[in-house]
């Protein structure tokens, strides 16, 4: 690859554009006083060293990166509740400013490591001075609990170069189970809050009648 900066420039632009668009959605929810399904958004262009490692690991020739490496541009949406993930996925599906080419549901079907997240792969059009260029972007949607687990596991993988010792792996499996339980508990609380809000509204309506 002669010039990484030039190659990665549209990926950087796509990440920045998507972050702005997704943060815009969060702000619209906040303004309408509705529960926002987006807690925060992060994004990154894959560092060159990680691109080279992954290309080697997956046997991807460097001149095929743009078609075969789906996460050169990565955007992550983190939510409070598991239910928010479905809301976000529906929202993403309804948009016309990019095309979804693949969805991977690692929530229904978690990875052997214990990893849970919902992944969408998009062809995202970037406007350049030589015309439109469609690039691949990976969108990851996960809860705060899933994000906590994935962040820790990612660091351990880095520390142990992918060879996490068995006892640590066992702990991670248990931690993944605990994160799953935490999401379930929080969902219950969410329902309680929604019910409380319905009771308050009903009471206010009744008081208005008398």
Q: Site residues (CB under 6 A) for ligand 0O2?
A: 19, 39-40, 42-43, 46, 50, 54, 71, 74, 104, 111, 113, 115, 119, 150, 153-154
Strand order across the 131-143 sheet: 40-45, 73-79, 131-143, 118-128, 99-105
Q: Minimum CB separation from ligand 0O2 for residue 130, in Å?
A: 26
Task: Report, in Å, the least distance between residue 83 CB and ligand 0O2.
Answer: 18
Residue nearer to ligand 0O2 on the CB measure, 90 or 173: 173
Cβ distance to ligand 0O2 smaller for residue 27 or 184:
27
Task: Give the separation between CA 169 and CA 67, rounded to whole angstroms.
Answer: 33
Q: For ligand 0O2, which is the closer residue by CB, 50 or 127?
A: 50
Which DSSP category does 46 fall into?
P
Q: Does residue 176 come out as left (phi exceeding 0), alpha (psi in the -120 to 50 range) or beta?
A: alpha
Minimal distance, residue 22 CB to ligand 0O2, in Å: 10
Nearest CB to ligand 0O2, comparing residues 154 and 198: 154
Joined together, the tokens standing for residue 113 give 């490591």
CB of 1: closest distance to ligand 0O2 in angstroms?
Answer: 18
SS3 1: coil
Catalytic site positions: 138
Query: Cβ–Cβ contacts within 10 Å for residue 184, how many?
Result: 11
Minimum distance of ligand 0O2 from residue 33's CB (angstroms): 18
Residue 67 exposed, middle or buried by CB count within 10 Å (0-12, 13-18, 19+): exposed
Q: Which is nearer to ligand 0O2, 109 or 205 (CB)?
A: 109
Residue 35, both tokens: 């529960």
Spatial distance between the Cα atoms of 153 and 89, rounded to a whole number of angstroms: 25
Cα–Cα distance measured from residue 2 to residue 88, given in angstroms and rounded to the nearest whole number:
38
């Amino acid at each position: 690859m002669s010039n990484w900066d030039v190659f990665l420039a549209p990926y950087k632009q796509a990440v920045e554009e998507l972050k702005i668009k997704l943060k815009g959605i969060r702000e619209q929810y906040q303004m309408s006083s509705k529960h926002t399904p987006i807690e925060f958004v992060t994004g990154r262009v894959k560092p060159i060293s990680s691109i080279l490692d992954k290309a080697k690991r997956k046997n991807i020739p460097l001149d095929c990166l743009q078609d075969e490496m789906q996460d050169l541009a990565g955007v992550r949406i983190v939510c409070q509740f598991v239910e928010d993930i479905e809301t976000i996925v529906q929202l993403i599906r309804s948009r016309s400013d990019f095309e979804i080419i693949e969805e991977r549901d690692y929530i229904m079907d978690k990875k052997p490591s214990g990893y849970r997240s919902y992944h969408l792969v998009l062809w995202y059009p970037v406007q350049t001075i030589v015309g439109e260029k469609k690039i691949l972007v990976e969108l990851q949607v996960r809860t705060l609990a899933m994000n906590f687990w994935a962040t820790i596991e990612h660091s351990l993988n880095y520390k142990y170069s992918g060879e996490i010792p068995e006892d640590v792996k066992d702990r991670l499996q248990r931690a993944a189970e605990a994160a799953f339980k935490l999401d379930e508990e929080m969902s219950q609380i969410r329902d309680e809050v929604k019910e409380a809000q319905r009771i308050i509204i009903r009471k206010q309506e009744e008081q208005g009648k008398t």
